[in-house]
Each structure stands twice: as structure tokens, then as C-alpha cells.
Amino acid sequence: MNRRSITKRAAVVAATAAVAVGTFTAGVSMAGSDSDSGSKASKKQIAALFDGWNAALQTGDSGKVADLYAKDGVLLPTVSNNVRSDRAEIVDYFNHFLENKPVGKKIETIVNVLDSNTAIDAGVYEFTLTDHETGKKRVVEARYTYVYEKIDGKWLIMNHHSSAMPEG
């Protein structure tokens, strides 16, 4: 497995922290344009990884969703106070979250392709949730950050942070 140096990991953590506190705003020019040459992924390719994650949600199979996270991936979920840092914990979270038949939709996205193996997608998404007892639907808006790493040729989620909008 191709792993980056401690310095490079620190840069990813710093970039993730900067995104999480809102220092990047819409319209800011980010590294990694869609026309970059070489093996670097395009912003569109990284943004589309959400579609695969959302499709996995639609299967109702928490294992399929967890397969999109790296072995040492971390999930800071919207509707749980627990940090999920291994597969069993991530599966457990999605076992409960999927009961509400979530359908996600991005509202705003900002992608930063750091290099050929690392990218960040941050922004705002919303989920339509269906109460599994009453059938009543509600929409929840949240901020998100996905940090992706290409491991063995596959883009996996290293860090996924989702939090309800503070003014919501």
C-alpha cells in the first residue's frame, strides 16, 4: 500500500482543518483544475465520488457504505456524538442511519485535488430522511468534508466529517 510521509499527512490534516473552519469559500481558486495533466484526478472526478457513496446508501447495506472508507478511515457523523474510527463502528453508524432511507444531494461543493493520491471535497449537502415508523419525510442540511486517498488504485474515504448547519 502506498502511504505518504508524515509531512504530507500533516499537510492533509492542516488542509482538512482549514476547510472545516470555513476558511475556504465558494469561488476561491483551488489547486487541481479539471484540465490538469498527468495522473492527478480532476475536480469533477473527486466530486463524483459522492455519487458513488450516495448510491451505496440507497442499497440499504451498511457494509457497502463502509467499503468506501479506508481501513483506518474516520467518520465524524452528523447524527451521532461518537467518533467512528474502524469498520465495525462505521457499519454500526450506518445500520442506524440507513433506517431513515437517506437520499443525499450536494448543495455546494469545493474540491481541492492535492496530488495524484489525495483530495478533499468540502461543502454543504442535504439529506431527505424518511422516518421508518411514520413515513414522514424531513430534509436536513449539513456541512461536510471528505478527505480521499487513493489506496491500491481505489479512492477511499480517509476522513468524513458531517455536521448540522449552526443556523439550522
Question: Structural domains in the chain?
Answer: 6-164 (3.10.450.50)
Q: 12 with 70: CB under 8 angstroms?
A: no
CA dihedral 15, 6, 76, 23 (to 10 degrees): -10
Contacts of 147 (CB under 8 A, 6+ apart): 12, 16, 118, 119, 120, 157, 158, 159, 160
pLDDT of res. 66: 98
Mean pLDDT of 93-105: 96
Rounded to the nearest integer, the mean pLDDT of the chain is 83
Q: What is the pLDDT of residue 105?
A: 97
Any idea what DSSP says for residue 102?
-
Residue-wise pLDDT for 115-144, tens only, equals 999 999 999 999 999 998 999 999 999 999
CA distances from residue 52 to 6, 39, 166 in whole angstroms, order as listed: 29, 21, 27
In whole angstroms, give the CA distance from residue 166 to residue 164: 6
pLDDT higher than 80, residue 9: no
- Work out the pLDDT band at 168, boundaries 50, 70, 90: low
Other C-beta atoms within 10 Å of 65: how many?
25
Rounded Cα gap, residues 141 and 162, in angstroms: 10
pLDDT tens digits, 51-98: 999 999 999 999 999 999 999 999 999 989 999 999 999 999 999 999
Is 24 or 88 the better-scoring residue by pLDDT? Answer: 88
Burial 3-16 (b: 16+ CB within 10 A, else e): eeeeeeeeebeebb
What pLDDT is recorded for position 132? Answer: 86
